[in-house]
Homo-oligomer: A and B are copies of this chain.
Amino acid sequence: MKDKKGDILRAALVCLGEGQNPNEIKIAEIARRAGVGKGTVYEYFTSKQELFAESVLCFISECLAKMQKAGGSGSFRERFFAVLKVLSGCLDNCRPLFYTVFLHQQFCSPEAEAAQRMLSRQPEVERELLLILDELLRQAEAEGLFPRREEQDSLFAFSCVVGALCFAGCSPTKQDRDLLFEKCYQTFLKLNQ
């Protein structure tokens, strides 16, 4: 049973990731791609909006899980680079998905069901991100690189680095990836010192 739900979530994500307009994606198409009947979709999700919200949240969770795994061993420097690499890969591969999520009314207008569902899970996502950061920072502390700081300060420093990564990654003349990661690393160090 659980696999069917996962298959449906993944099929919805594939449709969204192709940049299809969420209004035009049919439950029947998602069912077909998941290899289940249309009725089965409604056994797991009450509406298309619920399905979309859950599939995007599922994608975010998977990205965070990959980041956590990547940041789970090695020196602070190795962990930090590994986390950036995962993040940068997620961004590069999922631009159409992000486009849909950021731009489409179903995800953006505060009254839309999908938006409300995603919003209600935001604290959970932030908590997962903080856990990843926490592990990184504990490693940095163990290596004597910098002392622990307020959680929100570390989150802000991290968002600076991710922001710079996004800008550089968005630019069609991709800077040399390694150099970019190095700059991000130095920046994160400096902001935490």
Contact = CB atoms under 8 A, between A and B. Distances in A.
Contacts of A116: 172
Contacts of A27: none
One complex includes copies of this chain to the number of: 2
Contacts of A108: 95, 170, 172
A21 interface: yes
Contact of A191 (B21, B119, B172, B191): B191
Nearest to A126: B171
A146 to B, nearest CB: 13
A122 B19 contact: no
Nearest to A119: B172
Interface string A14-38: 0000010100000000000000000
A113 B108 CA distance: 28
A32 B6 CA distance: 46
9 contacts: A119-B172, A159-B164, A159-B167, A160-B164, A163-B163, A163-B164, A163-B167, A190-B190, A190-B191
